[in-house]
Amino acid sequence: MSDQVTAIVLAAGAGTRMKSSRAKVLHEIGGRSLLAHALTAVRDVGAATTVTVVGHDREQVAAAVTDLDPTVVQVVQEQQRGTGHAVQVALDGLDEAPEGVVLVTYADVPLLQAQTLAEMLLEHRHAGSAVTILTAEVGDPTGYGRIVRDDAGAVQAIREHKDASDAERAIREINSGILAVDAAFLSHAVSTLEDGNAQGELYLTDIVAKAVAEGRPVGAHVLEDVWQTEGVNDRRQLARLGAELNRRTLEHWMHEGVTIVDPHSTWVDSAVSLARDVTILPGTQLLGATDVAEGATIGPDTTLRNVEVGEGATIVRTHGADALIGAGASVGPFAYLRPGTELGADGKIGTFVETKNARIGDGAKVPHLSYVGDAEIGEGSNIGAGTITANYDGVEKHRTTVGRHARTGSDNVFVAPVTIGDGAFTGAGTTVRDDVPPGALAVTAGEQRIMEGWVQRKRPDTASARAAAEPSDEETGTRE
């Protein structure tokens, strides 16, 4: 018997209850679409061929499938005539009839794990079954197909809710919809399906009774973890499953040695990677392909998307995307790292600082109240408080380059394109329009002028004038 696995992922349904212009299966939890979760599970179980059945919102769904995995075969089910029909269409879309086992899964069931599928496949092969059904015992089975067993407990049929008798509706073991089926049996069984049922559909589930009638063994893999069988039909279920996925992701990382101070206010996407002894403080979201190295501390109140954080770095109350933070670096509080920010080892992006497309070297510091965009700041340089790179001339963007170990004064404007050389200094309030050579001091602020008595003359009878007229504390000797 071939040990080949072919997966059929059903994704043609309408998703009306989402009330969305986006296809249901493209809604996301854990930073991945429902579809991506489903495709990941069948890929990880080792399916050699995967077929996706698309129908409703097919342009959107097909484009997403191609994007996720161009090797996935796509077939179109023009009319949704039932799950059995969907599988017929999928089999017709293959060049050759599949061998071995066919796994049928749904694109809107995101928590299903590859490991569950692997266990189910093992059981299926071990028992030599024609069909193995992934089932679960649920509190409220309304709407689901029920697993009908005989007195000895052998599975006899799946009865759809709408077709079930009262006695059958009392059964709490349900069909998750996920099946492993002997490929040869499937090809033959789906061609015999009929639509004489309450919904006038071709039910894939009817293949169970067919196997029983042919004397072929049918198995049920009962899953304790009901979450894995749950589908998303509306936004409430999307939020519920999203929260559960997050809880599982956090448990995984805590198990791997990550401290998560407040799991209730921490969100970590499925593709995020965290090393040991990372500490995540409350109110933190780590999204996309964010990767945090050992010993780093993130949060509180920080959102990072696709940010690589080096060993031992500290990121406090920060919003960042598509950025690299070096080992031992410090960011925030209240920093905004926009795409293309690269901070070197032991560097600092401090309080109320915005950066974009900026390389800030090892040990370099932008500590306070600055905007650094389209810039390169060399190793060990210090940028004074309140510095702005004026990168935009109204038409085009230009670059600012600051060399190594430069010391620029507070309240500077670097009018790009401009270069400040290695070891150069600038005075407070300098507007740097021309290049500053290495080792030079640049100042542009005018000399300070003093107009004695100006306030008494120009602003008489004001609090300022009175304050200026009073003898100081030191003169009256009233200091405490």
Rg (CA), the chain: 33
User: Residue 109: CB partners within 8 Å, gap ≥ 6?
Assistant: 34, 38, 176, 177, 178, 228, 229, 230, 231, 232
Q: Is 107 in the site for ligand UD1 (CB under 6 A)?
A: yes
Measured N-to-C along each axis, helices 34-44 and 58-68 cross at an angle, to the nearest 10 degrees, of: 40
Of residues 204 through 263, those in contact with ligand UD1 by CB under 6 A are 204-205, 231
Of residues 2 through 61, those in contact with ligand UD1 by CB under 6 A are 10-13, 53, 55
* Cα–Cα distance measured from residue 36 to residue 397, given in angstroms and rounded to the nearest whole number: 37
Of the candidates 80, 187, 431, 456, which one interacts with ligand UD1 according to CB under 6 A? 80
- Decide whether 229 or 408 has the Cβ nearer to ligand UD1: 229
Among residues 52, 32, 58, the alpha carbon closest in space to that of 110 is found at 32
* Cα–Cα distance measured from residue 453 to residue 459, given in angstroms and rounded to the nearest whole number: 10
Q: Is 182 in the site for ligand UD1 (CB under 6 A)?
A: no
- Decide whether 181 or 420 has the Cβ nearer to ligand UD1: 181
Q: Are 104 and 177 in contact (CB under 8 A)?
A: yes
Name the segment binding ligand UD1 (CB under 6 A); options: 102-110, 215-223, 351-359, 397-405: 102-110
Of the candidates 106, 185, 227, 253, which one interacts with ligand UD1 according to CB under 6 A? 106
- Decide whether 155 or 416 has the Cβ nearer to ligand UD1: 155
Q: Min. distance of Cβ 298 from ligand UD1 in angstroms?
A: 37
Going by the DSSP 8-state scheme, the letter that residue 79 receives in this structure is S
Name the segment binding ligand UD1 (CB under 6 A); options: 73-81, 93-101, 112-120, 283-291: 73-81
Of the candidates 47, 51, 86, 190, which one interacts with ligand UD1 according to CB under 6 A? 86
- Containing 102, the helix (H) or strand (E) segment is strand 101-106
Map residue 115 onto helix, strand or coil.
helix
Of residues 430 through 469, those in contact with ligand UD1 by CB under 6 A are none
Name the segment binding ligand UD1 (CB under 6 A); options: 75-83, 262-270, 275-283, 404-412: 75-83
Name the segment binding ligand UD1 (CB under 6 A); options: 92-100, 106-114, 186-194, 414-422: 106-114
Total number of residues that touch ligand UD1 (CB under 6 A): 28
- Decide whether 108 or 308 has the Cβ nearer to ligand UD1: 108
- Decide whether 145 or 310 has the Cβ nearer to ligand UD1: 145
User: Residue 363: CB partners within 8 Å, gap ≥ 6?
Assistant: 344, 345, 346, 347, 379, 380
Among residues 36, 239, 271, 296, the alpha carbon closest in space to that of 286 is found at 271
Of residues 328 through 387, those in contact with ligand UD1 by CB under 6 A are none
Burial 139-178 (b: 16+ CB within 10 A, else e): eebeebbbbbeeeeeebebbbbbebbeeebeebebbbbbb
Name the segment binding ligand UD1 (CB under 6 A); options: 82-90, 419-427, 455-463, 467-475: 82-90
Site string for ligand UD1, 122-161 (x = CB under 6 A): ----------------------xx------------x-x-
Of the candidates 110, 177, 242, 380, which one interacts with ligand UD1 according to CB under 6 A? 177
- Decide whether 141 or 320 has the Cβ nearer to ligand UD1: 141
* Cα–Cα distance measured from residue 8 to residue 34, given in angstroms and rounded to the nearest whole number: 15
Of the candidates 5, 91, 174, 377, which one interacts with ligand UD1 according to CB under 6 A? 174
Q: Are 420 and 432 in contact (CB under 8 A)?
A: yes
Q: Where are the beta strands (DSSP E) in 109-250?
A: 131-137, 146-149, 155-159, 173-182, 218-222
Helices (H) and strands (E) in the chain, counts: 11, 33
Residue with tokens 């010391």: 407
Task: Write out the catalytic residue numbers.
Answer: 368
Of the candidates 33, 52, 74, 175, which one interacts with ligand UD1 according to CB under 6 A? 175
Applying CB under 6 A, the residues found at the interface with ligand UD1 are 10-13, 53, 55, 77, 80-83, 85-86, 106-108, 144-145, 158, 160, 174-177, 203-205, 231
